[in-house]
Chains A and B, each alone.
Chain A
Amino acid sequence: MRKKRGNFADLEPLIPPTTLHTIQLNLMAKHVVATVDEIPPGERKIVELEGRSLGVFNIDGEFYAVRNICPHQGAPLCEGRLTGLLESDVPGEYRYTRKGEILRCVWHGWEFDIKTGQSWWNPAQKRVRKYPVEVEDGATVASGLQKGPYTAETYSVSVDQQYVVIDMPE
């Protein structure tokens, strides 16, 4: 879910964009949580942000983040298996779709759509909290640095890298 980056024009860059630097980042409420090549398609990374555990998933090159707590009983949802949907419109006819896009909880097997956070068995009522994820290039990340309550992980920011950035609501 590649989004247009926000307007940070009013922010004074603390570090020149070209500087290679190791620092914990807090970009407004944006957190750098990984480099793009750290989470290949089909893989995931579990991160801590502002005391919350989140799973960041790469599905065919797009990144998604959901809370690592199952809304059912609080299990570490994001440690679950990635699966697809086996569906049947009429008995005897089956199709397997959405391969790798469905997260199955480690405890009771509740299925969630990683792209929307919705549960598959009750999409109207049950959902896991989903967070917007962007991919930013190194220059943008570095230029947007500011002091703050640093909670994200430590990254060497390089302009020729791309970063997975989560936008945490206040």
Chain B
Amino acid sequence: MKSTREKVPVIDTDIHNTLASPESLHPYLSERWRKHQTMIGGRGHAGSNYPRGMPHAARHDAWPPSGLSPGADLAFMQEQLLDAWDFEYGVLNPLMGGSGLNLEYVAAIARAINDWQVEEWTTPEPRLKASIVVPYEDGELAAEEIHRRGEDPNFVQVLLIARTDEPLGRRKYWKIYEAATQYDLPIGIHFGGTGAGPITGAGAPSYYIEDHGGMPQAFQTQVISLVCEGVFERFPTLKFVLIEGGFAWFPPLMWRLDQSWKKLKEEVPDLKKLPSEYMKEHFWLSSQPVEEPPKREYFDLLLEQLNARERLMFATDYPHWDFDAPDRAFPTSLAPDVKRRIMSDNARELYKL
């Protein structure tokens, strides 16, 4: 499946590694938490399910011959993804360990996952860089983990999820931003999560397609909150990456927030400039899943409105079923310099690779 058309360097900003089994974390857990993991395990909110016909939400061809789960077998990931497409780097976003109700346990699991990533992923495969998993519902515990791994070159960002218990601009999360700022680590917000509330702003939907298609609602909530709570006035160098949330909604949100702010800015005097200016300055977006408008010229307009040349970063979402292939991800042919920036330059600069 080696691409022949793709000549520019490629950095994949969204790869999902997972555990071979829960016991894979045992070497990285204290006796206290190993016992807890074995006998009790995590507790969380309900609400996010993958279709049963799509176990692990995986591509059907991503099950390794070893019998492990998709994303659990480094050798197969190297063969099917990193080598097949000749990636320069890939960013690991393990979708586990950051959420849960027992925050002490979540913190122990997050720490173990980070140690496991260094030991079993980024050390044996230097093309892979990891995201710091943090117990994000507790700002202080999360900050502790960022301080533990902040200077470690195996890690390139802090990982949060789109559906949190509260909008991310709220004070309870500021310790995370303070710590990330200290190490100049971007904060990735990835698709998914459950959170304390229903997964939309208007209750819980019936179908997975509503969950999948409607995820930008959660991302929009986070962007609005981060801007309006004045997070970027408090942490002026903070950078966010919106991962797997799509990007077509981003420009219209800038227009809408600007319009609101002109009329309502007295309510949020911390804001010193247009909401769109904060959005343009502090947010990057990953490409997958690429929205596919019915006309190519719509897509070109979208890239322009988004400032995609500077802010869009290619991602596959491997090994998940909605994977984007590097040579076929975009419905339009990109100008060579734009392509190079989206496929790798933007990520290389942001993540200092």
Contacts and interface: CB of A to CB of B under 8 A. Distances in A.
Interface string A57-93: 0000000000000001111100111000000000000
B62 to A, nearest CB: 8
A75 B324 CA distance: 10
Interface residues of B, number: 13
Contact of B327 (A72, A74, A79, A106): A74
B60 A74 contact: no
Contacts of A72: 328
B287 to A, nearest CB: 13
Contacts, number: 33
Contacts of B324: 73
Contacts of B321: 107-109
Contacts of B174: none
B61 interface: yes
B74 interface: no
A106 B328 contact: no
B184 interface: no
Contacts of A79: 60-61
A76 B61 contact: yes
B247 to A, nearest CB: 18
B329 A75 contact: no
Nearest to A71: B328
A99 to B, nearest CB: 15
B235 to A, nearest CB: 38
Interface residues on A, range: 10 to 19
A86 B46 CA distance: 29
Contacts of B322: 107-108
Nearest to B323: A107
Contacts of A75: 59, 61, 325
B202 interface: no
B40 interface: no
B288 to A, nearest CB: 11
A19 to B, nearest CB: 39
Contacts of A81: 60
Interface in B327-341: 327-329
Contact of A76 (B1, B54, B328, B329): B1
A106 B324 CA distance: 12
Contacts of A73: 323-325, 328-329
Contacts of B327: 74
A106 B1 CA distance: 14
B59 A74 contact: no
B60 A80 contact: yes
Contacts of A108: 321-323
Contacts of B1: 74, 76
A74 B61 contact: no
Nearest to A73: B328
Most buried by A among B60, B325, B327, B329: B60
Contacts of B323: 73, 107-108
Nearest to B324: A73
Interface string A14-44: 0000000000000000000000000000000
A80 B54 CA distance: 12
Given A74-B1, A76-B1, A106 B325 contact: no
A74 B328 CA distance: 7
B245 to A, nearest CB: 18
Given A74-B1, A76-B1, A107 B59 contact: yes
29 contacts: A72-B328, A73-B323, A73-B324, A73-B325, A73-B328, A74-B1, A74-B325, A74-B327, A74-B328, A75-B59, A75-B61, A75-B325, A76-B1, A76-B61, A79-B60, A79-B61, A80-B60, A106-B59, A106-B60, A106-B61, A107-B59, A107-B60, A107-B61, A107-B322, A107-B323, A108-B321, A108-B322, A109-B54, A109-B321
Given A74-B1, A106-B59, 18 more contacts: A72-B328, A73-B324, A73-B325, A73-B328, A73-B329, A74-B327, A74-B328, A75-B59, A75-B325, A76-B1, A79-B60, A81-B60, A106-B60, A107-B59, A107-B61, A107-B322, A108-B321, A109-B321
CB-based closest 9 A-B pairs? A73-B328, A106-B60, A73-B325, A106-B61, A74-B328, A107-B59, A107-B323, A79-B61, A74-B325
